[in-house]
Copies of this chain bind each other. A is one copy, B any other.
């Protein structure tokens, strides 16, 4: 089993009603890899960083089985930087600063091993870059999962629709599903999105859980009710990392197993939001994960006589 992860590795600076993070490590590929590394090795990381990206952060990823030869280092440039502020409800945020830096002309070249991975996940990036990665794969991966965001719907819709055609699982949030289809009802939006290429669709609803659609089937997983949501940054990427990590570990891409993968993703995301940035998800161990999986079973499990 092997997994290729494409996405950003970045600096984040986060303000929430509970505090300020200072400059910390973030980026879609960072969160995805940290979550997935609990389930699968090796992970081939495809990203770009500046000379300012801490070496010890790279070492920490390498320790977890993340192969970094696909991470381009532009020594004389700065890493992607994002600063944002969350509102009281922690569901909405404002971007205060976005500096693309090294990301501005990112054109990844995949190392040999990364081109042969069985599983590929495309974190949020320009759809042209995502398509470029798919084109470099030597054999069609068993499963391609793609995340995106509303920004690309605004500035690169045609390229986005073209990339969506090439993937198996599309990950969007509820607002993005509505924007991409013009349908307010998520069920109607899902039906349209499933005609655009992907065989599977995941609609993330943040604290309200996630929906998995496939043909006429739908599965729902709640988010774990938590006492405190400290910082939602990276929760969606961490969810995606848990999802693809479980699938790559089990090498089973059936709908039944995707349900389980959604639960695993929700478990990983529930850790992510408990601390700033990657702090909590780099601490979790298999026992933590098992305990929380049990909590999920208790949360949704019920008996009913269908008579």
Contact = CB atoms under 8 A, between A and B. Distances in A.
Residue from the set A262, A293, A302 with the largest chain B CB neighbour count within 10 Å: A302
- Interface of A (DSSP majority class): mixed
Interface in A78-112: 88-89
Given A88-B184, A185-B226, A222-B209, A297 B307 contact: no
Interface in A191-243: 205, 208-209, 211, 217-222, 225-229
A64 interface: no
A111 to B, nearest CB: 33
A259 B217 CA distance: 23
Residue from the set A209, A227, A229 with the largest chain B CB neighbour count within 10 Å: A227
Contact of A290 (B227, B290, B306): B306
A187 interface: yes
A103 B141 CA distance: 66
Given A208-B208, A209-B222, A217 B298 contact: yes
Interface in A58-88: 88
Nearest to A207: B208
A114 B101 CA distance: 73
Nearest to A257: B303
Contacts of A205: 208
A301 to B, nearest CB: 8
Interface in A116-140: none
A157 interface: no
A185 B222 contact: no
B299 A263 contact: no
A297 B304 CA distance: 9
A186 interface: yes
Interface string A282-295: 00000000100110
A270 to B, nearest CB: 12
A23 interface: no
A16 interface: no
Contacts of A256: 302-303
Given A184-B88, A290-B307, A302-B259, A220 B211 contact: no
A260 B227 contact: no
Top 9 A-B pairs ranked by shortest CB distance?
A259-B302, A208-B208, A220-B222, A187-B227, A300-B300, A187-B225, A220-B299, A260-B304, A185-B227
Interface of A: 88-89, 184-188, 205, 208-209, 211, 217-222, 225-229, 256, 259-260, 262-263, 290, 293-294, 297-304, 306-307
30 contacts: A88-B184, A185-B226, A185-B227, A185-B228, A185-B229, A186-B225, A187-B225, A187-B227, A188-B228, A205-B208, A208-B209, A209-B209, A209-B222, A217-B298, A218-B298, A218-B299, A219-B298, A219-B300, A220-B299, A259-B302, A259-B303, A260-B302, A260-B303, A260-B304, A262-B302, A290-B306, A290-B307, A293-B306, A297-B304, A300-B300
